[in-house]
Structure 1
Amino acid sequence: MNTIQTLAVSALPVIFAITLHEAAHGYAARHFGDPTAWKLGRISLNPLRHIDLMGTIIVPAVILLISAGGMLFGWAKPVPVDFGKLRRPKQDMLWVAAAGPAANLVMALAWALLFKVMIGFPETLYSEALREMAKVGIGINGVLMLLNLLPLPPLDGGRIAVSLLPPRAAWKFSQLERWGLPILLALLFFGGLDRILRPLLNVYFSLLTSLFGFY
C-alpha cells in the first residue's frame, strides 16, 4: 500500500484504540464512585472528546510514515480520575486502571473476528482494505494493552501494582510516577521497550492465531 492508503486504513482502528481506552477508564471510575470524568463530558464513545491533536493524530501519523507502517504509537487526553472519590480508593484503583487494557482486548478480539470473516470474502479492494484495517486494529490494540500493563507508574500496570501492594510498599512504589515518562521514553529510544514487548506480542499474536484459526 502507498502512504495515503496506509493512513486511510489505519486511522479508524488507531483513533478508536486510543480514545476508547481512555473512555473505559472514565466509565469504570464513575461505576466505582468518581464522577469527575462524567461531569467533564469525557465518558463518551465519541473519539472527538478524547483526541489530543499531538498524541492522537500528529505523532501516530509521523511514526506510521517514518516506519513505513511498521510501528504505531500515540496517546489520547488522559481521562481525569480522582482516586480519592472512589468508594474504596486502593481496591477500586485496580478496576479503573484495568478498564483501559480490557477495552483494548475487546477491540482486538472484534478486529480479529472481522479479519477472520474477511478472509472468506472474494478478493476485492473492499475486502482487502477491511483485512488491512483489521490487521492494524489487532496490532495497535495489542501494543496498547501490553504497554499499559507494564508495572510502571503512571501506566495502568503501575496503578494495578499500587493497588495490589501492601500500603507502605504501594506508597513507595507510587513515588516512581514522577519518573515514569522519562523511564518509558528511555526504554523506547534505547530499544529496551522493544525487547520487553516483542516476546509478549509474539505470545499475543500466537493466542489470537490459535483462537481464530488464522493461517
Structure 2
Amino acid sequence: MSDFVNIWKNLDWSVPVQIVVNILPSLLCITLHELSHGYVAYRLGDTTAKDAGRLTLNPIKHIDIMGLLMMVVFRFGWAKPVPVNMYRFKNPKKGMAVTALAGPACNFLLALLFLFLYGLLYYPLYVHGGAVAETVLQLVYTTAYLSLALAVFNLIPIPPLDGSKVLFSFIPDESYFKLMRYERYGMILLLVLVSTKILGGPLSTATSWLFDKLSVFAELGFRLVTHFV
C-alpha cells in the first residue's frame, strides 16, 4: 500500500490538469452558446431545437468533436449547430439574425461574468490558497477568455458562422438564399483559415485586445473583495 501511495504522490498531474482546464471551459462555452440559439428560436416561434432535444445543458447534445478540438488547440471552435427552421418565424430573415446573435451575446456576457468572478476569487484563492486554488483560478480565467474568443469567432461574416446570418439579413431575399447554400463550403474555408495565421493571428490579436479592455470587470471584482479585507 505504501508503494502505491508513493507512486500516487509522485505522479505528474500537470498534463491531465491542463487538459481539464481547457476542456471544461470549452464545453461550458459551446453548450451555452448553442442553448442560447435554441432558446431564442423557441421564443420566436420555432420549436425545432426543442423537438430535437437541444434545449438542454447536457454538453453531449451539443459537441462537435472537430470543433471542440479546434477550441482546445487554437482557442477558436464551434459546436454542433442547433437546428432552426427560419420559416417558423414571423419574419424569417430577422428571426434568423436575432437567433444567430443570441450565441455570441451569451458568450460575451459569460466572459464578463467570469472576469468579474476571477476578480472576486483572486485575493482569497491566490493569496491564501495552494495548487488547487490556482487551478480554480485558471479554470475561471480560461472560461472567460474562451467564451470571448467564441463570441469573436462566431461574428465573422463567413457562412455558417453567426456573423454571416446577421450580415445576410440586410441583403435581398434572392441573394440571401443563394448565399446560404454555400454554408458547407464556408466551413472548409474556415478550417483552413483558422489553422493558419491567415485568420488565426488576427483573431487572437482582436480577442486579446478586447479581453484586455474588459479586464476592468476583473478589477472591479478584486476591488470589491479587498475593500472589505
> After TM superposition, is the score higher than 0.5?
yes
Are residues 1:25 and 2:60 paired? Answer: no
Encode CA deviations 1:166-198: one digit per residue, 9 max, x unaligned: 435534543542421122122123311123313
> Match of 1:116, SS?
helix
Of 184, 199, 206, the match for 1:200: 206
CA distance, structure 1, for counterparts of residue 67 and residue 133 of structure 2: 26
Contact persistence 1:36–1:81 (CA under 8 A): yes
Q: Which residue of 1 aligns with 2:140?
A: 134
1:101 equivalenced with 2:104 (yes/no): yes
In 1, the alpha carbon distance for the partners of 2:188 and 2:60 equals 28
Shift, 1:44, TM fit: 1.3
Aligned to 1:150: 156
* Structure number with bigger Rg: 2
Report if aligned partners of 2:76, 2:194 keep a CA contact under 8 Å in 1. Answer: no
Letter matched to residue 36 of structure 1: T
Structure 1 residues 97 and 160 mapped into 2: Cα distance closer, same or farther (>3 Å)? Answer: same
- Long gaps (5+) in structure 1: 65-70
Percent identity, aligned pairs only, is 33
Sort the Cα spacing of 1:4 and 1:211 in 2 relative to 1 into closer, same or farther, 3 A. Answer: same
Matched, 1:120 2:130: no
CA pair 181-48 structure 1, distance change in 2 beyond 3 A: closer
Relative to 1, partners in 2 of residues 1:194 and 1:75: Cα closer, same or farther, differing over 3 Å?
closer
The one-letter amino acid of 1:8's match is: V
Can you list the C-alpha shifts for 1:117-163, whole angstroms capped at 9, x where unaligned? 12111232232111100121012111111010001111000011111
Amino acid at match of 1:134: V
- CA-atom RMSD in angstroms: 2.3
For 1:5, the aligned partner's letter is: V
Which stretch has the larger CA shift, 158-167 or 86-95?
158-167
Q: Which residue of 2 aligns with 1:45?
A: 57
Tell me whether 1:87 sits opposite 2:93 in the alignment: no
Q: How does 1:53-92 map to 2 (within 5 A)?
A: 54-55=65-66, 59=69, 64=73, 71-92=74-95
SS in 2 for 1:213: helix
> Which region of structure 1 is more displaced relative to structure 2, 171-180 or 73-82?
171-180
- More displaced stretch, 202-211 vs 10-19: 202-211
CA deviation map 1:94-128 (0-9, x unaligned) = 11000111111122112112211121112322321
Pick closer, same or farther for the CA change 1:30–1:12 going to 2, 3 Å.
same
- Alignment correspondent of 1:68: none
Alignment of 1:149-188 (within 5 A): 149-188=155-194
CA contact (8 A) 1:150 1:156 kept: yes
TM-score (norm 1): 0.85
Q: Distance in 1 between matches of 2:196 and 2:19?
A: 27
Gaps of 5+ in 2: 1-12, 223-229
Partners of 1:77 and 1:200 lie apart in 2 by 25
**Structure 2 CA distance for aligned equivalents of residues 179 and 111 of structure 1:** 34
**Counterpart amino acid of 2:33?**
H
Corresponding residue of 1:36: 48
Distance 1:189 1:11, change over 3 A: closer
